[in-house]
């Protein structure tokens, strides 16, 4: 990836982080920690990897993205607004009555959302179904999903992993946002799912481990996934919950608490720049 593209992605990520803070402060509810940890991943997908068209969000041959950790909807909405699926001003209606920006993604209401998610484990299962449909229809589109580390405590995740391997879904690439924290604390203390790399390998996946905040590593992993044949790819991305905001970083308490006006102002001052 050239320097110009890396700089563009960094600018997009900064804008997305600011949007996340702004919309959560406006709604006074939502999930900042796991939204901020996934910004670089989602930015790279929407602005470097995925073939999608805001003017034609239901184009049959588009790439698909499923936010399996649906509570991190703000990171998806920020990318969709940045991409032009809907006006950025609409982000301030997050979670408000009548808004098409629900607390969890709704494919029937929000342009650019490919799957309604929120019940953990179901998103990756839907992504497997989309990828299988692509194979059966002999389509070239790729399916991407974003999974949470705490979400891997759900049994459905492993049923989906088994099916993806069984059907040799090499058109499926899933990111694991491995920030180590969930709403009740450290993932390994709540219900330890590790070693996740060995488990996905045992289920027949290609496994790549990266720094989830490094655009070049994210891009290189995506390139490797595109070249992998006969099996799905799991990209385990080490991330920082609340990344970019000092008082939110590595704090489980910011899993599902929105910043107040003063905290939002501090966060935006720390982030700086933006559009």
CA–CA gap between residue 100 and residue 94 (Å, rounded): 8
Place of tokens 């982030």: 271
pLDDT digits (tens, 9 = 90+) for 103-151: 999 999 999 999 999 999 999 999 999 999 999 999 999 999 999 999 9
pLDDT digits (tens, 9 = 90+) for 63-100: 999 999 999 999 999 999 999 999 999 999 999 999 99
pTM beyond 0.95: the answer is yes
Checking if the pLDDT of 214 tops 70, the result is yes
How much is the mean pLDDT over the chain? 97
Pairing of strands 172-178, 233-238: parallel
Average pLDDT rounded to a whole number, residues 12-31: 98
Backbone angles phi, psi at 65, to 5 degrees: -130, 130
pLDDT at residue 274 in the model = 45
Pairing of strands 206-211, 233-238: parallel
- Alpha helices (H) along 118-205: 122-136, 155-166, 187-191, 196-202
Contact 34, 245 (CB under 8 A): no
Buried b / exposed e over 180-194, threshold 16 CB at 10 Å, is bbbeeeebeeeeebe
DSSP letter assigned to residue 153: G
CA–CA gap between residue 246 and residue 174 (Å, rounded): 28
Q: Which band of pLDDT confidence, cut at 50, 70 and 90, is reported for residue 273?
A: low
Alpha-carbon torsion, ordered 50, 51, 53, 57, to 10 deg: -80
Q: Which CATH superfamily is domain 3-271 in?
A: Thiamin diphosphate (ThDP)-binding fold, Pyr/PP domains (3.40.50.970)
Domain boundaries along the sequence of the chain: 3-271
CA–CA gap between residue 220 and residue 226 (Å, rounded): 10
């Amino acid at each position: 990836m050239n320097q110009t593209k890396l700089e563009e992605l960094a600018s997009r990520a900064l804008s997305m982080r600011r949007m996340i803070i702004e919309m959560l402060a406006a709604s006074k509810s939502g999930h900042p920690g796991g939204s901020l940890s996934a910004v670089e991943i989602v930015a790279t997908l929407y602005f470097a990897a995925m073939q999608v068209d805001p003017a034609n969000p239901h184009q049959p041959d588009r790439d698909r993205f499923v936010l399996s950790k649906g509570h991190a909807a703000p990171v998806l909405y920020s990318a969709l607004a940045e991409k032009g699926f809907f006006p950025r001003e609409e982000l301030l209606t997050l979670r408000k009555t009548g808004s098409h920006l629900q607390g969890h993604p709704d494919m029937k209401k929000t342009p650019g959302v490919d799957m309604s998610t929120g019940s953990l484990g179901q998103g990756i299962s839907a992504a497997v179904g989309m990828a299988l449909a692509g194979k059966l229809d002999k389509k070239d589109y790729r399916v991407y999903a974003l999974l949470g580390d705490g979400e891997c405590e759900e049994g459905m995740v492993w049923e989906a992993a088994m099916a993806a391997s069984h059907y040799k879904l090499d058109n499926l690439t899933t990111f694991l946002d491995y920030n180590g924290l969930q709403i009740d604390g450290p993932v390994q203390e709540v219900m330890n799912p590790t070693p996740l790399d060995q488990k996905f390998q045992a289920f027949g996946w290609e496994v790549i481990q990266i720094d989830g905040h490094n655009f070049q590593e994210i891009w290189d992993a995506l390139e490797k996934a595109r070249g992998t044949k006969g099996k799905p790819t799991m990209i385990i991305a080490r991330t920082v919950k609340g990344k970019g905001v000092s008082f939110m970083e590595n704090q489980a308490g910011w899993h599902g608490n929105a910043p107040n006006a003063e905290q939002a102002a501090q966060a935006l001052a720390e982030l700086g720049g933006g559009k």
